[in-house]
Structure 1
Amino acid sequence: MQAPRSALSHPTWAPARKDMVGTSLGSSRLWFTVAEGIVTEVYYPRVDIPQIRDLGFIIADDQGFWVELRRLGNYEINLPKPYIPAVEVIHRHARFTFILKICPSQRRDVLLLHYQLQGDTQNLRPYVLLSARLGGDAKNNQAFVAEHNGHRVLWANQGPFGLALMASSETDEVTWGRCSVGCLEQSDGWQDFNRHGRMIWQYDSAGPGAVTLMGELSSQATLALGFGSSMEAAATLAMSSLNEDFSSVWNAQCRVWEEWYKSCNCNVSDLSRDLQQKLALSSMVLKVHEDRTYCGATVASLAVPWGENNHNRGGYHLVWCRDLAETAGAMIAMGAVEDARNVLRYLIATQQADGHWLQNQWLGGASFWQGIQLDEAAFPVLLASALRDRGELGGISCKDMVRRALGFIAREGPVTGQDRWEEDSGVNTFTLAVAIAALVEGSIFLDEEARGFALQLADSWNARLEEWTFVADTSLARKLKVSGYYIRITPEDALVHEGAQSEHVLIKNRACDPNLPANEQIATDFLQLVRYGLRKADDTCILDSLKIIDQKLKTDTPSGPVWHRYNGDGYGEHEDGSAFDGSGRGRGWPLLTGERGHYALLSGNDPLPYLEAMAAMTGVGGLIPEQVWDSEPVPEHHLNPGKPSDSAMPLVWAHSEFIKLCYSRILGYPVDRPVATWKRYQGIRPEITHELWGPRYLPRHIRSGNTFTIALRAPARVHWGINSWHDAQDIDTRDTGLGVYVAELPVVGLKPGDTIQFTFYWLDQEKWESTDYEVLIAE
């Protein structure tokens, strides 16, 4: 009998606050998540393709009593060891205890669930409830109750995907009782219990649409959720797995993860037991998020932010070059160098022709969002350099990748199309720190001409950091009694006018107050200047900026201190705790607590309190969230100060930061500090002796006595003169090898007040530039 259709067109996803995530390390291509004590999204055959919304249980009798486990809220999560993703969930109720063990097969695309109902088993029965989302699509799934080769099976299919849910009891008890399939919010199993207090419906087909599958079960059994290219293929895999003892599957999962963990260097003896366990768990989280098909690709999170209120998957199932490179840095720190090399290989394969990487991408390399972020062109260079410095490149050829990446940075910097929070264009301290470090580290891979220009550019940008991004004597500075501070981002059109001092250029962002002047927007991003050795921890500009962010962005929670990304951030729940819906208010990021811990280390302090704070901000299973709630408790939304919000959990980047801080504490300096960059600057700002004009930064004045170089994106003949075109002459540019063409003008002898005029004849286009430019010689 066909189940009634549902009019629901946009079903939501599961909660983002995951209890645990897991996968096998064998040939299986399946990833699972756990939230609210039940299985939530399962991904197959790639880590970016969800196939179900959730698989949970209802415990009921036939007298009107029923409880859905995910709504019971009284459960605990256990792992054999912190680094082994084989999950035991124990739900407790006055009438029963329900023990659920979740484990993937090593060799088949099957998730196995062994459960046992204890307590009033004479009257109570468990019912499994599965919501299908094959291919991530909720609109076109179909579901069936059927017999397959003599076995009861709950089936669903959509396009190239099929799933099968089968069961086997270890006793003589009949495993399946009544079964039904239905359409969400119309004829699904939950609606059946909600309307009738017990199971009434027994539909054998449903859909197309958002379909659910339900079956009455014995008090103890093993379920196999199989996936394949057809329903029959999924059923074959599921039944094959049921013919293997569950304990052997569980033991195999423990064994392979134990072997992997021993291959890493994850033991930090001077940490507390709790922090050592969090470190081990974090290492596992990184490994779980790797794909099988695209070796080296790691997604940002297996969670859908605010999933229960979200009709689409968001972007966290994608690859971000920045997150991936940060994760690879943590892999290097914990000794998983082959994993880090695989990341580098993947990044080399997905680099764009002009040298940059996509803002984010599907695993296969196709673009998703279209932004351009300068730091994402720089991080792969730092990864290559980090492996080279440790003698761990393993024969990977990086020269071409580095040359193209640095060429993009040279042509597009110091301006970025978006900051690391993917919102605004301009000059940002975090982005610029990463780009400068990449120019220095990457120069070692280059030929002499390109190397010299890369270092010259790095020195120039480093020397001008404060000119571009530091403001003084603003109303905010006076109010908070500091001389000045680094701003969040300097808009590009302010760069050649008033610099960071501009009060009139507004930044378009997701902020609660979009009219906040650029010179009053602050962020924690400047801490990267210290982490990478561009500025000292006790630099006056750093210390003053620190006072500002501690007063404006810091929140002390019961778990410890946490910082917002920037003032006026609008990415987070609303004040009443309701979900982010395109607007809201940003919350504290544990990731930033880790970054602050790295600054503390460089200031001569023990970063242990920051590690302890990050560990305390975790969920019930120990996962680190993207954001924590930092306001008064909101019980109806399960929001408590210092604990996870409904943003993505886990955030792989946050776990990477935790891992790095553990190892940095041992070393006494950041484990990801670029070696050549530190040696070159050691926190000291270089003197400006060489003026660069172009390609993006077009200064209107240069200092007397400095050399003057014009840098262009194409070969040209520079026509120039002084003081209203006197002594006009021509000079041809030379190729730096980075797609930048330079000409040094002999103007060192000019005095303050003199001017230089110039224009270009583009040699490749055989035409003149339409603009005449002028630069003033200043004191």
Structure 2
Amino acid sequence: MEAPGKPGLTPTWTDSRKQLVGCSLGASRLWFTVAGGIVTEVYHPRIDIPQVRDLGFIVADGRGFWVEVKRLPAPDLSLARPGVPALQVMHRHPRFALTLRVVPDADRDVLLLEVTLEGDGDLRPYVLLAPHLGGTGLGNRAAAGRHRGRNVLWAEQGPFGLALAAVAAGQSDGCGPGSAGYVGVSDGWQDFRRNGRMAWHYRCAGPGNVALLAPLERRSTVALGIATSREAAATLAFSALARPFATAWQRQVRDWSQRLAAHGGVPAAGDPALPEALENCLAASALVLRCHQDRIYPGAMVASLSIPWGESRDDRGGYHLVWPRDLVECAGALLALGAAGEARDVLCYLIASQYADGHWSQNQWLGGKPYWDGVQLDEAAFPVLLAAALEEQDARDGIEVATMVRRALGFIIRHGPASEQDRWEEDSGVSPFTLAVCIAALVAGAGFLDQEERDTALAVADFWNTRLESWTAVQGTGLARRYDVAGYYVRVAPAEVVQERGALDRRLPIRNRAHDPGLPASEQVGLEFLQLVRFGLRLPGEPLVRDSVRIADALLRADTPRGPAWHRYNGDGYGEHPDGRPFDGAGRGRAWPLLTGERGHYALAAGEDPLPYLLAMAAMAGPFGLLPEQVWDAAPPADAEHPAGRPTGAAMPLAWAHAELVKLQASRRLGRPFDRPAPVWRRYGGRPPAPTLAVWTPWAPIRTLWRGERLCVCLPEAGVVHWGRNGWREVRDVATVPAGFGLHRALLTDAGLGSGETVELTWRGELTGWSGQEVVIGVREPGQ
């Protein structure tokens, strides 16, 4: 009999605040998550395809008493050992204790659960399964039946199928006859709500938002298999059940313990006195970084095995994607953990997914298909820094990187210094963070290039470095006076700042707000400037840096009971509403533990011990050390469970946050930022170079030349630059010469111009002829 209520309620995912994520280190291509003491999203065969919404349990006596265990008070959770995803959960009730042990099968795409119910002898456990095959709750078909003489719960959609079966001690079948239904109408939960027992036995349901229910023996082992059909999934499940659960448990503990010893050694080496909570969080970070790696596409990592505010939406996108920036941040942490082979896999994946013009997608599915179509210059720069980091550690292992580096640096030079999007993907312009990453990539990547390209890359890096403050810092603003500082770096300057400094007074939109407060760029502050110190472009004691830290701490720091965390920027709207409602395209930004790590890196550079920042991050983690994207940083709403310093409904875990924790501990041991490129420090040592050369391009047409600088005109084709001084006097022509990266340059001035004088120019391309543009560049004192 088919269940009534087609197609069921609008599907959603589950709570993003994961207590654990896990996978096997064997051949299995299955990942699982846990929230609320039950299994939530299960991924297969790639890490970007969730196939199950949740797998939970009801305990009932068949006479009207029933409890869904995820609604009980917080369960007792324990791991076989820290950093090993072998989980035991105990749900307690006055009438019973339900114990679950969860591990994947190492050799099959199967998740195993050992179920033990103790207490009142009339009670029985029931398994609740909500399939979301193909990454959605729409269009699934479900059935409860028998296969090869055993009761099985089945689901199918498109190329995917799943099967759930069970065995019990002394029996071949631990699963009773089940039922399929539509969520919110005829599913198992509705059956118990209306009847107090399992009264419905619907054979099938779908297509729609479906769910499955079946009774279990009080001591049983459940196997959830996922494959290309329901029959194939059942074969996998039955195969896994042929062995004792203890075999899978012991294999998981052994494999992960060995990995932790090999690639989780950051806490042990050189600092045996770390607090236990921090050691556990570091071990969890090693686990998270491994669990976010794909098997089909080695080197690909998603941002999070969670769906932010998933209980309010069905969209699986967003965090189940590869961001080049997040990916390289995580690869750096893998290097810190000694997992150089996995970092090399990341580099190979990035080489494979680079566009011919040198950039990468803003984000993409694992196979390389773009998701959003924005372009971020830092994401073109980070892969170069990964290649340089592997080279610096003598760990590149022969991977050919020159072509990738040449393409990436060429893209940066041709499109910078302004980026279409900042690192938070919200505004275009010139960002101190993006500039720091791009300058570092130009310097660190120059060593892979020939002399012509190397000279151009270093010249552009030096020029952008000399202009950092001119483009991204302000002095004497109302905000500066309010906080008694001389000046500070802004979070993003409008792109026009390379032509006119007054652009900093223009309004810069703040996204994710119901009502944009209309702040000018000069009044928006973030922690972007800290990257200048971290990468060796500025010293921590510089007055402008210190003033920026002071104003950022005043505006962005949130002191929670768990420790300090920082907002992305003042006015941020990416987070829950003040009343606790999920982010729905608008909200109010919350504090990020990731930024606590960035602030800790600055503290280290300034001569402080960053241990308090590490401890704060660990204190904001979940029970097994998983770090959230955001924590609640205000008095919690009366009707919401948001204690200060604890995770919000944003992503958890955030792989980037775990990478930051690992690198901060590695930096603490080194006494300097772990990811500071050595060539950058050698070239700059924290100080800007002397301004000797200014670079003008058609895409970044500067209007100011500092006294003492020569002017370099870079064009996208060979040609002649026609130029003069002070109203077209002393006119002359200069032919361009190749500059590498498909560019051609002409050096114009001999550095003899004084303040107040001008340079006028136009150009003729060999292919395009005269440009029809006249450019006037004024000479000013350095720093103006």
TM-score (structure 2 length as normaliser): 0.97
Which of 304, 307, 324 does residue 307 from structure 2 map onto?
A: 304
Q: Aligned to 1:670, what secondary structure does the other structure show?
A: coil
Report which stretch shifted further, 373-382 or 753-762.
753-762
Report which stretch shifted further, 602-611 or 712-721.
712-721
Report which stretch shifted further, 138-147 or 693-702.
693-702
CA distance in 1, matches of 2:39, 2:530: 39
Say whether the 8 Å CA contact 2:507–2:519 is kept in structure 1. no
CA distance in 2, matches of 1:645, 1:136: 23
2:357 aligned residue: 354
Q: Indicate whether 1:387 and 2:386 are aligned.
A: no
1:612 aligned residue: 615
Q: Structure 1 755/74 Cα, relative in aligned 2: closer, same or farther at 3 Å?
A: closer
CA distance in 1, matches of 2:109, 2:756: 74
2:636 aligned residue: 633
CA distance in 1, matches of 2:599, 2:727: 52
2:410 aligned residue: 407
CA displacement at 1:232 relative to structure 2: 0.5
Q: Aligned to 1:129, what secondary structure does the other structure show?
A: strand
CA displacement at 1:32 relative to structure 2: 0.5
2:60 aligned residue: 60
1:181 aligned residue: 180
Say whether the 8 Å CA contact 2:578–2:637 is kept in structure 1. no
2:508 aligned residue: 506
* Mapping 1:125-524, distance limit 5 Å: 125-172=124-171, 175-264=174-263, 265-266=265-266, 267-268=268-269, 269-499=272-502, 502-511=504-513, 513-524=516-527
> Partner letter of residue 233 of structure 2?
A
Which of 760, 773, 776 does residue 774 from structure 1 map onto?
A: 776
CA distance in 2, matches of 1:441, 1:577: 45
1:6 aligned residue: 6
CA displacement at 1:95 relative to structure 2: 1.1
1:84 aligned residue: 84
Q: How many residues align?
A: 776
Write the deviation string for residues 124-178 of structure 1: whole angstroms up to 9, x where unpaired. Answer: 1111000010011222110111211111111100000000000100135962234
CA distance in 2, matches of 1:8, 1:743: 68
Say whether the 8 Å CA contact 2:281–2:621 is kept in structure 1. no
1:69 aligned residue: 69
CA displacement at 1:638 relative to structure 2: 1.8
Say whether the 8 Å CA contact 2:7–2:207 is kept in structure 1. no
Say whether the 8 Å CA contact 1:305–1:314 is kept in structure 2. no
CA distance in 2, matches of 1:189, 1:61: 15
CA displacement at 1:510 relative to structure 2: 2.6
Q: Aligned to 1:743, what secondary structure does the other structure show?
A: strand
Write the deviation string for residues 373-405 of structure 1: whole angstroms up to 9, x where unpaired. Answer: 010011111111111011000111111111111
Q: Aligned to 2:644, what secondary structure does the other structure show?
A: coil
CA distance in 2, matches of 1:713, 1:171: 77
CA distance in 2, matches of 1:254, 1:416: 46
CA displacement at 1:416 relative to structure 2: 0.8
Identity between Structure 1 and Structure 2 (%):
53
TM-score (structure 1 length as normaliser): 0.98
1:603 aligned residue: 606
Write the deviation string for residues 219-268 of structure 1: whole angstroms up to 9, x where unpaired. Answer: 11000000111111000000010001110011111111122222223324
Task: Return 5+ residue gaps in structure 1 as ranges.
Answer: none
* Mapping 1:10-25, distance limit 5 Å: 10-25=10-25
Write the deviation string for residues 611-638 of structure 1: whole angstroms up to 9, x where unpaired. Answer: 1100000123321000000111236432
Which of 693, 697, 702 does residue 694 from structure 1 map onto?
A: 697
Report which stretch shifted further, 723-732 or 430-439.
723-732
Report which stretch shifted further, 172-181 or 69-78.
172-181
Q: Aligned to 1:176, what secondary structure does the other structure show?
A: coil
Q: Indicate whether 1:762 and 2:765 are aligned.
A: yes
Q: Aligned to 1:594, what secondary structure does the other structure show?
A: helix
CA distance in 1, matches of 2:8, 2:721: 65
When the two chains are superposed, the root-mean-square deviation of aligned CA atoms in Å is 1.5
Say whether the 8 Å CA contact 2:12–2:313 is kept in structure 1. yes
Q: Aligned to 2:759, what secondary structure does the other structure show?
A: strand
Say whether the 8 Å CA contact 1:9–1:139 is kept in structure 2. no
1:99 aligned residue: 99
> Partner letter of residue 507 of structure 1?
P
Which of 560, 565, 588 does residue 562 from structure 1 map onto?
A: 565
Which of 660, 664, 668 does residue 663 from structure 2 map onto?
A: 660
Q: Indicate whether 1:746 and 2:745 are aligned.
A: no
> Partner letter of residue 397 of structure 2?
G
CA distance in 1, matches of 2:594, 2:436: 18
CA displacement at 1:777 relative to structure 2: 2.8
CA displacement at 1:605 relative to structure 2: 0.8
CA displacement at 1:462 relative to structure 2: 0.9
CA distance in 1, matches of 2:334, 2:219: 40
Q: Aligned to 1:177, what secondary structure does the other structure show?
A: coil
CA distance in 1, matches of 2:579, 2:753: 63
> Partner letter of residue 495 of structure 1?
V
Q: Structure 1 94/635 Cα, relative in aligned 2: closer, same or farther at 3 Å?
A: farther
CA displacement at 1:7 relative to structure 2: 4.6
CA distance in 1, matches of 2:3, 2:144: 11
CA displacement at 1:347 relative to structure 2: 0.6
Write the deviation string for residues 437-495 of structure 1: whole angstroms up to 9, x where unpaired. Answer: 00110011111111111111111111111100111111111111111111110011233
Q: Structure 1 8/725 Cα, relative in aligned 2: closer, same or farther at 3 Å?
A: farther
